[in-house]
Structure 1
């Protein structure tokens, strides 16, 4: 097997649109008024283009949940301590988190990956062990990671995705778990959207007014510490291992021609990073929902993305991405299972 290197990962293929006229004719010819299924028809067309076939199918959705801790939590950007990350990883492994419940409903497999949890989790046999470090450094004081660690996280996320694809996954949903990761995502958005920092900062897992003031002050200190602007530099200065791995997984899926369901605020920050690294990857992204987290709609706008759902979610874990799986499958079924109008009319005599 060839060793994946970063330059390979950044070569997302431009979406081949050769099938677009045939797909549009197929959609227009179904037993329904043209355009009557609205955005489901747009989604069906996109899936057909990504899979390069007139009858796309999604039968093996897989949720990859990347977990990591952030040094920023030591400066008070989060309402909960990093120990909660470990507790939630264990809940995910036990099948007891919200993401597990939703995955069972939609028939998705769940894999949990230790990207950089600040604890020794080597005794969890069902965990995918991919730790880059015991959490990132405090980005308000120093770079969150080294350039080597940033590149390693991107490549490791890609390898995790490639393993899932080799096992038969035909749709990847990306999720995360990590106390403090909304702070890291806000800094990434600030530089990569770009957008004013205050517009990027939200409640995360919840804050008092005093907690929000502290979060804003710490993130302002972090932003003032470095003028990083290029994607890899921004990741190195402000990112998280789990965010980098989600970006790497998205890029690997794009290289393989597999659609990716992007979750909420943190997931979209990972998508923003991936698209800034490899612009062609944007066409392989399906944006699941508009989060209630402040800044998410602005970040979606920076990606020219229109989400499938609006449910006021702000949990993470890939929960919103999972809720969009049935819409993706319905869009496939429109092309593969619905009769042509001409056949219906012929049968009617």
Structure 2
């Protein structure tokens, strides 16, 4: 199932030359807009035009619960907080609501697998696979069928969003215990020892982090997945699996994908292992304070736009970095060239 995505590299020599020339002949010294120039070039290449636009930009926030979280050994907050925060999203009280409203980004909340019944509740997309995953201390987090269903569901939701005119998408997540799942996936795909992948999550202290490292090391040794899909099935969460499918589908549809923090980047590691070309479509919003996130960037050889010391998740990094991406597109489309402005160039 997961092999069905067809993701082409964004390689186009002639368009790249056109875009670079357009950027270079703006009324500024060559390279003077730094990273904004890189972003403008990338979005032009993704959209296959020298006049790209950000249309109906959307953030999908996937919520899911994790079996291990019920034991309270690896997470500071109880599992009920996942459902409580989902209600907070629906009531527009969370950070992600504030920032999406500020920047006119559409926000959709998805129940990927929260251990709570949201039936008869509006303002949420009902996509529940199950009431949370299994505890991977004992068995894989999900069955292969559940994992492929989650990947497909994430892909379908992105297709729906695309069909309504969206060409720029970001992903967020909510799930108590999901930094543990992300750490396990990170260690599997980067081959970095699990202890170096484990951080404080929502704010564990040093002794609690040691316990978390020990537990997750045991989990890592217990299982031996032999493929990206099996790793996601073993260690992932329903929200992480849906984001994986969402990223793959968005790249297939040639959308610009804005990557958030540690959890979303763990989903990208899975997607990248399945399809290398997916990275061509990704812009990296920010560096999370979660210690493993910087190492993920080193593994992927990518640099994020900002580092504000954030570690909230929810897609907040995407929303806060979004105006920078808007600025990149705006200068490319509307800034004068030396010729149009009658300014002497640098030739």
TM-score range, shorter chain: over 0.9
1:30 aligns with 2:58: no
- Residue number in structure 2 paired with 1:248: 245
The aligned runs of 1:24-103 (5 Å cut-off) are: 24-75=20-71, 76-103=73-100
| Alpha-carbon displacement from aligned partner over 1:323-348 (angstroms, at most 9, x marks no partner) | 11111111111111111111212699
1:202 aligns with 2:237: no
| Alpha-carbon displacement from aligned partner over 1:8-52 (angstroms, at most 9, x marks no partner) | 22x212213231111000000111111000010000000000010
1:220 aligns with 2:228: no
- Residue number in structure 1 paired with 2:321: 324
- Residue number in structure 1 paired with 2:228: 231
Query: How far apart, CA to CA, are the structure 1 residues paired with 2:96 and 2:130?
Result: 25
1:12 aligns with 2:7: yes
What TM-score does the superposition give when structure 1 sets the normalisation length? 0.96
**Contact 1:65-1:113 within 8 A present in 2 as well:** yes
**Contact 2:338-2:344 within 8 A present in 1 as well:** no
Query: How far apart, CA to CA, are the structure 2 residues paired with 1:7 and 1:293?
Result: 31
- Residue number in structure 1 paired with 2:271: 274
Query: How far apart, CA to CA, are the structure 1 residues paired with 2:191 and 2:19?
Result: 35
* CA RMSD in angstroms, aligned pairs only: 1.4
The aligned runs of 1:83-162 (5 Å cut-off) are: 83-162=80-159
What TM-score does the superposition give when structure 2 sets the normalisation length? 0.96
Cα distance, 1:269 vs. partner? 0.5
Query: How far apart, CA to CA, are the structure 2 residues paired with 1:327 and 1:17?
Result: 25
Query: How far apart, CA to CA, are the structure 2 residues paired with 1:255 and 1:52?
Result: 14
Unaligned runs of 5+ in 2: none
